[in-house]
Amino acid sequence: MQSSLDAYAIKARWLPVAVAVFPIALLTFAVLQLDLGLLTATPGAAAAILMVPAAEIVRSRGLACERRLIEIWDGLPTTRALRWRNADGRTHRRREAVEARTGHRLPSADEESDGAASDLRYADATRTAISMIRADGRDAPVLQAENASYGMRRNFRGLKPFGILLAAISIVGSVAAWLFLQPDPAALLPAFLIQSTILGFWMVYVKDSWVAEQADTFSDRFFTVLDAQSTSAAR
């Protein structure tokens, strides 16, 4: 369990931080004409110390982004999948699987009129089911991988303004260094190209729809696993 939590932290929290600060690091090393191998060899303890609070900041930014997106989405996909007012052909089966797995009684159609309170019950039942799947262990890696991907995209979206700012600053710095400091082009040109690529990534890929896509994927995978386990248990 600890290793999976570490894997989540690396992918969902530390990777967004690394991508955000990498353009500035590249600029610094290119201008000073340092060995780029030092980017991985030098930070050591200093990076470990800084990454802990940085990861917490990323998490806070990601959760703030998630709250905004939940308003736009009218609830997390797992919640919408259980509501009667969003019902489709799979709703009844999904509700039965959650209730059978967790022992929670989900809100009726009439009880959904209380809005936020019923959504909290859906969210609580979903968290319980996820915890039970993780404790069971059989399909835990599947959900953990999808959850880490969702957390990564959510946190990238929360960091987007800072990522764009740092990438833009690094590009301007590279151009200024080229014009006024004239460092070794062999060091500066690759840095400039990588900085531009990272800026393009922030602007083109890191969008609300990118997060929503993975949220839907996690929801679908969660209910697929839950249904499969319920069917197996019934045999």
Q: Mean pLDDT, to the nearest integer, of 24-34?
A: 75
pLDDT of residue 7: 83
Full-model pTM: 0.86
The dihedrals phi and psi of 75, each to the nearest 5 degrees, come to 105, 155
Asked whether residue 131 is assigned to any structural domain, the reply reads no
Q: Is the pLDDT of residue 2 over 80?
A: no
Q: Is the pLDDT of residue 181 over 80?
A: no
Query: How does residue 140 score in pLDDT terms, banded at 50, 70 and 90?
Result: confident
For residue 199, being part of any structural domain is answered with yes
**Can you give the pLDDT at residue 53?**
77
Q: Is 194 a residue whose pLDDT tops 50?
A: yes
Based on the structure, what is the number of domains in the chain?
Answer: 1
Instruction: With respect to residue 117, please indicate whether it lies within any of the assigned structural domains.
Output: no
User: pLDDT of 39-67, one tens digit each?
Assistant: 454 444 455 556 667 778 898 999 999 99
Long-range contacts of 99-104 (CB under 8 A, 24+ apart): 99/125, 100/230, 100/233, 101/129, 101/132, 101/226, 101/229, 101/230, 102/128, 102/129, 102/132, 104/128
Tell me, yes or no, whether 22 lies in a domain. Answer: yes
Task: Report the C-alpha gap between 141 and 230 in whole angstroms.
Answer: 18
Mean pLDDT of all residues in 166-181: 88
Q: pLDDT exceeding 90 applies to what percent of the chain?
A: 54
Which carries the bigger pLDDT value, residue 28 or residue 105?
105
Is residue 84 in a domain?
A: no
In a domain? residue 96: no
180 lies in some domain: yes
Query: What does the pLDDT look like over 207-219, one tens digit per residue?
Result: 999 999 999 999 9
User: Could you list the residue range(s) of the whole structural domain that residue 217 is in?
Assistant: 2-73+141-230
Classify residue 104: in a domain, yes or no. no
In the predicted model, is pLDDT for residue 82 greater than 70?
yes
